[in-house]
Structure formats: C-alpha cells, structure tokens
Chain A
Amino acid sequence: MNLLEGAVRPGFRAPDAGDFVFPSIFGDSVLTTKPVVLVFFSVILISTFFIASSRKALVVPSKIQFAGEMVYGFVRNEIGKDVIGSEFQRFVPFLFTIFTFILTNNIFGIIPLIQFPTMSRIGFPVSITIFVYLTYHFVAIRKHGLFKYLKDMCFMPGLPKFMYVILAPLELATYFLIRPLTLAMRLFGNMFAGHLLLILFTLGGEYMLHDKLIMQLFSVFSFGFSLGFTFFEFFVQCLQAYIFTLLSALYIAGALADQH
C-alpha cells in the first residue's frame, strides 16, 4: 500500500532500511563491510585501552588507570554485586565484556566520520543474546538439574491446580522465547531508530538548504534537531548498554536463585 503518495515532493529521498546496508570495502568479502570492520576496530580499541590502563597498576592511579578502574568498578559493584549476590565474582568478566563491547559499538553512532552504531544491524545483538541465553540456561541446569529447573519454572506454589495447565506454557514461552527476543530487539530497535532519526533530520536539513529562502530558514531547525538528538542519542546509547548488561545479570541471578 502506498501511504502519503504525493505528499513527499520528488527529489527528497526519505531514509529507509537500505541506508544500513554497506558495500564491501575490499572485494566481495562480507568481512570487510563497514559494520564488521567497526566491530574489529572496537575490539582493538577496547583491548588497547584496558591493557594500557592495567599494565602499570599503581597504588596511586594514573588518569588512564583511574578511568579503566571506574568502568570496571561500575560493572562489578553496581551490576554484578548488587544483582547477582554472593556468587557474582564468576560472572564479572562476562558482564564486563558485554558492557564495554556494546557501549563502544553504540557510541560509534555519534562519533564524527564513523557515525554508524554497529548494533543497528540485527546480527550483532542476536549473537550477543545467544551467549547470554546459553549462559543463563547452562548455569541454571548445572545448579538445579534440568528437571528441577523446568519444574520450578512451570509450577509456582500457591495456585489452584487447573491454572497450571494454562499458565505453564506461558512461563515456558517467557523463559525460552520472549526473554531473548526482547533482549535482542530492544538493543537493535533503539539503535536502528536513533540512527534513522539522525539521518532523517540531517538529510532533511540538507534538502531544504537547496530550496527557496523560506525553506532555508527552516533548515536551521532541522540541523538544530539533529544536533540535539545527537546528545540524546549519547544518553540512549549508554542506557541501552547498561540495560542489556543489567538484564543479563538479572537472568543469571534468576537462574542461580532457589525459587524463581
């Protein structure tokens, strides 16, 4: 169905999902498209930063050591210790990796000249979600055993018997389908929508700039919005990295708990 046909004047190309597909830089290999190159770049960046910040650890920290320790301390105390509880030490490396990886890749969206959040391609959130999904089920099955894990999940105490028949599929669907789905979709959707919004305002401003004088005046607003949304996007990107890590920690904590 054609919505708004004729409402958009010819010449302006509204941004769509095609703006997220990049040609390969060298040859035809999928390994050299922009998102994949950015992922490799982010891994190098994170490793360099944290090796540099922890190599010559002093009692009185230098500036870079202080920055690295602040990020680590945040994940360890605010996310790991508060949520998981007594056994948190085992999971801190996992949570820390997820947090820094997602944060760096998200912030690529507003850095000039790079300007593409890697997580707005669905494959990257899905692959991180697969790791989280396997981890929390594995942890729970190893701690409780498969049968008890499923039993605790489906039959919570204090309900009339006939309700279990219709509530148990709901719990199973929540744990095995909806949780990973929402985890991946939330990160992907936020990054996709934010990047689309920035492209829309920038392209719209640029289009109006080549029009009549009155439109040129309005293009200032469009560029202003795109600048404002850049700062808003920075906030959203940090928040999404935090929420993804926090929910991973919560799912692990739920898997470790005795009664769900």
Chain B
Amino acid sequence: MASKDEGAFWNIISYLIAGMGFWGAAGALLDNFLKTQIFVFIGIFLGLFLSIYLIWVRYVRSDPGNLGK
C-alpha cells in the first residue's frame, strides 16, 4: 500500500534524528561535566549506528519477503 510506504520514510527520518539527537545530547552533557570535547562525537556516531540498526530491525529484517530468508 502506497501510503504505508510513505509513513515508513518519515519514520526512518524520525529514528535517525532521534538516535543522533539523543545520544549526541547525552555525550554533550557528559562533555559538560568532564570538561572534554570528544564524547559528543562519540555519542553522535553511536546514535547513528544504533538508529540504522533499529531501522534494519524494523523494516528490513522483520519483512517476510526478505532476501535473507
């Protein structure tokens, strides 16, 4: 169904923003306490990989017509 696909696009973008935003913000908070500069970037990249993993679980792996099956 076309409209379900359209929802998936915006959900993917939401997950990406949430991943990088949340873990980036956590890293920035840690930087603020420890007076360092590195954790915000670690957080952003951790969030990037986590959100791509989450998208993979939601939309690629769980699909019954997947190639891997």
Q: Which residue of chain A has the shortest Cβ distance to B47 in the bound complex?
A: A170
Check B17 against A170 for contact (C-beta < 8 Å).
Answer: no
CB distance from A112 to the nearest CB of B (A): 32
Shortest beta-carbon distance, B68 to chain A, in Å?
Answer: 14
A170 & B51 in contact (Cβ 8 Å cutoff):
yes
- Are the C-beta atoms of B57 and A156 separated by less than 8 Å? yes
Contact B50 A174 (CB under 8 A): no
CB pair B6 A178 closer than 8 Å: no
Interface assignment of B10: CB less than 8 Å from any CB of chain A: yes
A interface size (C-beta, 8 A): 24
Q: Out of B10, B13, B50, which one reaches A170, CB within 8 Å?
A: B50
Instruction: Please report the C-alpha to C-alpha distance between residue A167 and residue B7 in the assembled complex, in whole angstroms.
Output: 21
A159 adjacent to chain B (CB < 8 Å): yes
| Chain B 1-60 residues near chain A, CB threshold 8 A | 1, 3-4, 6-7, 10-11, 13-15, 17-19, 21-23, 46-47, 50-51, 53-54, 57-58
Q: Are A243 and B17 in contact (CB under 8 A)?
A: no
Q: Are A246 and B7 in contact (CB under 8 A)?
A: yes
**B47 contact set on A, CB distance < 8 A:** 170
